[in-house]
Amino acid sequence: MRETICEEDILSQFDRLIDEGTVVYNEDYHTVKELDKGFLFEFRILSSLTTKPQAPKDQQKHSEFKHSGCRPGSDINVSGYEVATLGSTHVLAVNKFPAARPHLLILTQDGFRRQYEALNIDDIAAAHQVLSSLSGRQLLLFNCGINSGCSRMHKHMQVFPAPHPENFELWPDSTDQVVPFKFFIHYFRDGLPFPEEILAVYQSLLGQAAACFENIALDSEAAVPHNLIINRNWLLVIPRRAAGFEGADTNAAGMLGMVWVHHEERMKLWLNKGPADVLARIGVPADAN
């Protein structure tokens, strides 16, 4: 496995895994755009999500299960999907259930690190290495805790290309969208800073997000449920109260307006419930005291 990140090799391996049928991805996926209460949505109907494992319901019981083919403590089998090592602490791998080309995972090499833990300097350094090595507009997502919309409990982040702004403008880059939930954002002045500065910004915003919760019971190592999104221009933390509402569930991508569903019926469920109202329910409503 490589110790450096080669974008050409990543795309080659991603395409090879698709050709072999071990990764399911249709680049011509169907999209539907919807503006609801001033917030723009893009629904992606992705066949790759049909066989994706269901999210754990109890993070403590989930941790007791043994998962075939995984390293000790892990519930994510990336054997055959690795593309690079990231120092001594992390590995970069192809996501088996992609929503973009390529869609990557950054996992801790320690399979006992958990998704409900906040990111530390090693995590941020690995994220910085990947974001700095890939060309174009990239998004890094971290779904912290079950209520954030995560589907696995081995600590991991996701990286994939951002949509082209002419096709779908992300609301942190827009001035005219109405965001229905509370969020905390920091804009970088001169591009992506060093990992130590990123960590300091993240911890500051996470502290502000934690103040949105009263009397929340957490394990000693657990952070408040939240989504973290980083690109070269900004860092965003979104506190989360639930993974979904009556079948309309999503992770950090959905809080950006990019809702990934495996079937058109699930999109209709979102539309029937009012997608902006769903995000307000699963986040913290923008008008909450």
Decide: helix, strand or coil at residue 287.
Answer: coil
pTM of the model as a whole: 0.93
Q: What is the mean pLDDT of the chain?
A: 92
Rounded to whole angstroms, the Cα distance separating 248 from 268 reads 10
pLDDT 10s digits, 77-133: 999 999 999 999 999 999 999 999 999 999 999 999 999 999 999 999 999 999 999
The DSSP symbol for 279 reads H
Residue 215 pLDDT class (50, 70, 90 cuts): confident
**Beta bridge mates, 146:** none
224-266 per-position pLDDT tens digit: 999 999 999 999 999 999 999 999 999 999 999 999 998 999 9
